[in-house]
Amino acid sequence: MPHRIEELLEIMRRLRDPERGCPWDRGQTFATIAPYTVEEAYEVADAIERGDLEELKGELGDLLFQVVFHARMAEEQGAFDFGEVVDAIVEKMLRRHPHVFGEAEAGDEEALREAWEAEKERERRLRGGSSALDGVARALPALVRSDKLQRRAARLGFDWPDAAACLPKVEEELEELRQAMASGDRKEQVHEAGDLLFAAVNLVRLLGLDPEQALRRANDRFELRFRAMERRLREAGIDPRELDLDAWERAWGEAKEEVRDREDER
């Protein structure tokens, strides 16, 4: 297997060769490649969600190629190479698992999580970090970033005691959005809509659920129901653009009933 890694690194080197490489690959930068890296990570997650291991193998390869691409560009600038990327993650994993590679006791799952977070906090301080929120990437999807920011703050005690205590905050933010809507102030509506979403993430987190996973499943249910509704309307010869609100409600209810069993599988 190791020689295949070397072959992959050589492929990347040739693609980036200034004279004989691929014009597209030669023209890329960290910034232009970053969106592809994010996309490949999502495709990995999608293959896992669908339970398609054959697809997962290919998507992991695509993601690995993104790592090789970034490492090659860094090497060209004299910053680091692929070997140093591997060294860094090996050292990090050894450091963060003293209960496996050292003398520390493993403890239960909660103790392991606490030790993991404590080590990450120590690493942030060594890098000069001054806030518990350091290292939460701005480029993360907003829902994921909200969850991470809240979890970091909660580690210092800045949190609701439980989901029930958080629920009035969600209701308060909803009321403030209603007021912003009544005022017609678009800037204020954006502000209050964001606060409502942030509070909703907080509530879901305090329920012990993953907000990103919850919304992904809601998206899947919506798509399943909407496609079923479209098909039913098409088979009935009905133009959906001609439906009023009551007709939409009936069609939606019928579609929900039709796909209920399939929803349970998701």
> What pLDDT shows up at residue 264?
63
Ordered DSSP codes for 179-241: HHHHHT-HHHHHHHHHHHHHHHHHHHHHTT--HHHHHHHHHHHHHHHHHHHHHHHHHTT--GG
- What are the helix and strand counts (H, E) for the chain? 12, 0
| Contact predicate 106/112, CB 8 Å | yes
- The whole-angstrom separation of Cα 130 and Cα 59 is 37
142-209 and 2-96 share a CATH fold: yes
Q: What angle do CA 166, 172, 173 make, to 5 degrees?
A: 95
| Contact predicate 163/169, CB 8 Å | no
- The whole-angstrom separation of Cα 118 and Cα 87 is 22
The domain locations on the chain are: 2-96, 142-209, 212-264
Q: What is the pLDDT of residues 97-115, one digit of tens each?
A: 888 887 777 677 777 777 7
Q: What's the fold here for domain 142-209?
A: Helix Hairpins (1.10.287)
Residues 6 or more apart in contact with residue 232 via CB below 8 angstroms: 251, 254, 255, 258
Tokens of 229: 């509704």
Check the CA dihedral 136-138-140-144 and report its sign: positive
Residues of the chain with pLDDT below 50 are none
> What pLDDT shows up at residue 266?
55
> What pLDDT shows up at residue 198?
97
> What pLDDT shows up at residue 2?
61
The whole-model pTM stands at 0.69
> What pLDDT shows up at residue 192?
97
Domain 2-96 top-level CATH class: mainly alpha
